[in-house]
Amino acid sequence: MNRVPRRATSEPLPDKEASRKGRRLFYGIRCPKNFRKAFPYLLQAAKAGYVHSQNLVGFSYAEGLARGKEGAETSPVLVPCCRGWQAPRGSFQPSLGF
């Protein structure tokens, strides 16, 4: 069986590939769902401006899926949305836009 060697974990993925890998892990496409592994890839893609990844990062914070190793919430990242900026649940203050 010819297998392609895996990438070194210290080498960062391009933003587009990080978005794809994060979505695959988040939704469980061709692999088991794993929110903890998906989050760093989605966060990288969200910072690069990928809208779907921004949505999934916001959802992860809102549902409490964005947790660190010890269960502590990771640092919040604000992402643009249609009504202002999204933040983790409980700390969002809506922007009225005027």
Percent of the chain with pLDDT over 90: 41
Listed in sequence order, the DSSP H helices in 28-79 are: 35-47, 51-63
Winning range, highest mean pLDDT, from 26-30, 80-84, 94-98: 26-30
pTM over 0.75: no
Q: How many CB atoms lie within 10 A of CB 81?
A: 13
- Residue 56's SS3 state is helix
Domain ranges of the chain: 15-86
Closest CA to 53 of 15, 91, 10, 87: 15
Contact 53, 45 (CB under 8 A): yes
pLDDT at 14 over 80: yes
Long-range contacts, 28-36 (Cβ 8 Å, 24+): 35/60, 35/65, 36/67
Tell me how far apart the alpha carbons of residues 96 and 18 are, in angstroms, rounded to a whole number.
33
Mean pLDDT of 46-55: 92
Confidence category of residue 2, pLDDT binned at 50, 70, 90? low
80 membership: H or E segment, kind and range: strand 79-81
The reported pLDDT for the residue numbered 69 is 52
